[in-house]
Structure 1
Amino acid sequence: MELIADVFLAAGAFGAAVYCFVLQRRLRRFTQLESGMGGAIAVLSAQVDDLTKALATARGAANDSTGRLETLTVRADSLAARLELLVSSLHDLPEAEDRGDTSGDRRMRFVRSRGRRDSVEVAE
């Protein structure tokens, strides 16, 4: 009976050794950097680092653009207020008929200078 127990114990130890050997080979293939899961993890880790750097660069560019846009918006608001003031001041000017201006009846005349025969000047 003791001999049968020893045989079963040896068979169990041999089975455990084979099981450990198979696990060791699978783990080695799993962690190889060139072809296994370790390689995929290393590649993904490198991509995450690259994307983090790209995101930081994009965030900096967006912040710069936001600052410039805010500056331009403030400048445009001040210019719009100035233009509104100029347009409202134009309403205070008299009309063309009130000034005695008859620019609609005027014709353009062409006057040639005697120094140059090729150039033509326009006079009102």
Structure 2
Amino acid sequence: MELIADIFLVAGALGAGLYCFVLSRRLKRFTDLEKGVGGAVAVLSSQAEELKKSLDAARDASDQSSATLNALTERAESVAQRLELMMASLHDVVPQDEAAVEVSAEPEPTPVVAEDLPQTRDEPKVEDEPAAEPQSKKPGGLMFLRHNRSEASA
């Protein structure tokens, strides 16, 4: 009986040794840096580093864009306030009547006719063209309306 037990014990030890040998080879292939999971882990690690660098660059660019946009927004708000003040000051200006504008306009020059001038030289006659009337029609009515911001949020 002891002999049979020893044979089973040796057979078990040889089986365990063979299993360990096969497992060792598989583990070496698994952790190989070129073909196995080790290589995949190394590639993923380098890609993660590159992604982190590009993310940092994108964050820096967005921070700069945000700062520029904030500065432009503040500038636009100040310009809008000045424009609103100018528009409000235009309401104080009284528009002139069209009749008063026509009376104050300069009279049109009369064209020179060749018969009215004495014929002393053989120079070409130049007739003056009537000057175009400047249009001084002012817009009437309210163009912009300033809303109170406290009323808009309520």
TM-score computed with the length of structure 1 as normaliser: 0.77
* Secondary structure at the counterpart of residue 87 of structure 2: helix
Matches within 5 A, 1:57-76: 57-76=57-76
Give the distance between the partners of 1:56 and 1:76, measured in 2 at CA.
30
Matches within 5 A, 1:18-33: 18-33=18-33
Give the distance between the partners of 1:4 and 1:15, measured in 2 at CA.
16
Q: Which has the higher strand share?
A: 1
Q: Which amino acid aligns with 1:25?
A: R
Question: 1:12-57, CA deviations, whole angstroms, 9 ceiling, x for partnerless residues?
Answer: 1111111101111111111111111111111111111111111111
**1:44 match:** 44
Matches within 5 A, 1:1-124: 1-97=1-97, 100-102=100-102
Give the distance between the partners of 1:77 and 1:5, measured in 2 at CA.
96
For structure 2, which runs of at least 5 residues remain unmatched after alignment? Answer: 110-130, 134-154
Give the distance between the partners of 1:37 and 1:99, measured in 2 at CA.
94
Q: Structure with the greater relative contact order (CA < 8 A, sep ≥ 6): 1 or 2?
A: 2
**1:114 match:** none
Give the distance between the partners of 2:46 and 2:96, measured in 1 at CA.
74
Question: 1:56-78, CA deviations, whole angstroms, 9 ceiling, x for partnerless residues?
Answer: 11111111111111111111111
Give the distance between the partners of 1:88 and 1:99, measured in 2 at CA.
26
**How large is the RMSD of aligned CA atoms in angstroms?**
2.4
Larger Cα-atom Rg = 2
Give the distance between the partners of 2:6 and 2:18, measured in 1 at CA.
18
Q: Which amino acid aligns with 2:31?
A: T
Deviation of 1:93 (Å): 1.7
TM-score computed with the length of structure 2 as normaliser: 0.63
Identity %, equivalent residues: 55
Report runs of 4+ in structure 1 exceeding 6 Å deviation. none
Give the distance between the partners of 1:99 and 1:60, measured in 2 at CA.
64
Number of residue pairs the alignment of both structures matches: 108
